[in-house]
Amino acid sequence: MTALIQLRGINKYFGDYHALRDIDLEIKQGEFFSLLGPSGCGKTTLLRTIAGFEDPSAGTLSIDGRPMAGVPANKRPTNMVFQSYAIFPHLTVAENVGFGLRRDPRSKAEKAGAVKDALEMVGLGGYGARSAHALSGGQRQRVALARALILKPKVLLLDEPLSALDRKMRELMQVELMKLQRQVGITFILVTHDQEEALVMSDRVAVMFDGQIRQMDDPEAIYTRPRSREVAAFIGKMNFLPGTLHSSGEGVEADVAGLGRAMIPPDRVTPGLGSGPAVIGLRPESLAVLFEGETTTRRTVEGTVDEVVYYGDMTYYDVRIAGVDEPLNIAMKNLVGRDVLEVGTATRVAWDERSLVPLAP
């Protein structure tokens, strides 16, 4: 597969504000790519740059081998689903979906057929004659999708498309978007601040902070092998323990506060991180509290339950261990027959060397 979209050294300034810093990016044909980051990190600016609504201050962008400098938004092979959906309220659903076909030389009947197909694709068959301003949030989103996809763009850009929906609808649309993307085979670029959304839907995720891409990987790598403390803290929950790394011929050994010495598995070693002080990350679900009488082959450490948060399917424990200021956050599945420990209970915490994530302090 070749790169469909290429960004080289993209920088963007708004006055003195440096919104995008040296963005290098290649996105493949048919990929579901996410730009993930907190608000103000530049992800929407980057998307708007690809769409042609912002001109980069420096750098080059090409789509399908064609340089995009000087090509306005209406001439680019991209279409966008806006955060507000930008549905035209004075038109019907069918007129909205057919809007981009107005300059199309095909006959009226052919265009009407295309509109009908597009509406059926997003599950809105029979809604064509309705007035667009009377639609619900989820329906607006579908109209926005149909309106963009009917033009068969090379790239579909989605700017926080699910953020205006309620939780149930959002989860439903996540699955529908993934199905739709596989069905049409078009490259999707999704902007989101919701890490779960990015992990669920994407083939690859770029995590952005302060106008820079900090890490670009598949969802599993982003989650299990974050390369910086910022990324680790932004994606899911993570315990951070102070420690020291010792590099030697046999590999990297860590001295972790509260846990002791441990060998870091070779695939977990962060490139460029040598001997010296470090922070060791541990996901809450990679730890376990041991119930009375329970035995394990994993390494353990003594602790006291400090806080219990019950979620129904899960219980989150804060457990204090000797030698660490912050309690360890531990996620436990609520299995049948397993009690929830009370605050103040003395317990043991089980952990593995395999789940340690060494990070720069």
Partner 1 sequence: MSGGRILGIYAVLYLIFLYAPIVLLPIFAFNDATIIAFPLSGFSTRWFEALWGNAALGDAVGNSLFIAAMTAILSTLLGICAARAGAMADFPGKSGILGFVMLPLVLPEIIIAVSLLIVLRQVLDMQLSNWTVIAAHTLLCTPFSIAILNGAFQNLDPSIEEGAMDLGESRWGAFCSVVLPLVMPGIVSSLLIAFTISLDEFIIAFFLTGSNPTMPVYIWGLLRFPQQLPVVMALGTILVALSIVLLAIAEFYRRRGLARAGLKDSGGFL
Q: Which residues bind partner 1 (CB under 8 A)?
A: 51, 53, 72-74, 78-80, 82-84, 86-90, 99-100, 102-103, 133, 147-148, 151
Nearer to partner 1, 78 or 270 (CB): 78
Region of 309 please: left (phi>0), alpha (psi -120 to 50) or beta: beta
Report yes or no: 43 and 207 within 8 Å, Cβ to Cβ.
no
Shortest Å distance, C-beta 72 to partner 1: 7
Tokens encoding 103:
């300059």
Is 79 or 141 the residue whose CB approaches partner 1 more closely?
Answer: 79
Q: Whose Cβ is closer to partner 1: residue 32's or residue 85's?
A: 85
* Smallest distance from partner 1 to CB 127, Å: 17
DSSP per-residue letters across 108-160: HHHHHHHHHHHHHHTT-TT-TTSBGGG--HHHHHHHHHHHHHTT--SEEEEES
What's the maximum distance between 2 C-alpha atoms anywhere in the chain? 77
- Minimum CB distance to partner 1 smaller for 152 or for 354: 152
Measured in whole angstroms, the distance separating CA 338 from the mean position of its chain's CA atoms is: 33
Closer to partner 1 by Cβ: residue 150 or 180 = 150
Q: Give dist(CA 25, CA 59) in Å, integer.
A: 11
Q: Please, what is the minimum distance in Å from the beta carbon of residue 83 to partner 1?
A: 7
Q: Which is nearer to partner 1, 146 or 264 (CB)?
A: 146
Q: Residue 109 is inside which H or E element, if any? A: helix 108-121
CB of 82 to partner 1, least distance (A): 4
- What is the three-class DSSP state of 222? helix
Least separation in angstroms between residue 142's CB and partner 1 is 15
Minimal distance in Å, beta carbon 112 to partner 1? 17
Q: Kindly state the smallest distance separating residue 308's Cβ from partner 1, in Å.
A: 45
Q: Which is nearer to partner 1, 79 or 202 (by Cβ)?
A: 79
Which secondary-structure segment (H or E) carries 190?
A: strand 187-192
Decide the pairing of beta strands 32-36 and 204-209. Answer: parallel
Q: Are 161 and 144 in contact (CB under 8 A)?
A: yes
CB of 3 to partner 1, least distance (A): 23
DSSP state, 296? -
CB of 177 to partner 1, least distance (A): 18
Q: In what order do the strands lie in the sheet with 251-256?
A: 260-264, 251-256, 239-248, 276-282, 357-359
**Nearer CB in complex with partner 1: 16/313:** 16
> Computed from CA positions of residues 344, 351, 262, 357, in that sequence, does the dihedral angle turn out positive or negative?
negative
Closer residue to partner 1 (CB): 110 or 292: 110
Around Cβ 137, how many Cβ atoms within 10 Å?
Answer: 14
Give the distance, in angstroms, between the CA of residue 293 and the centroid of all CA atoms in the same chain.
40
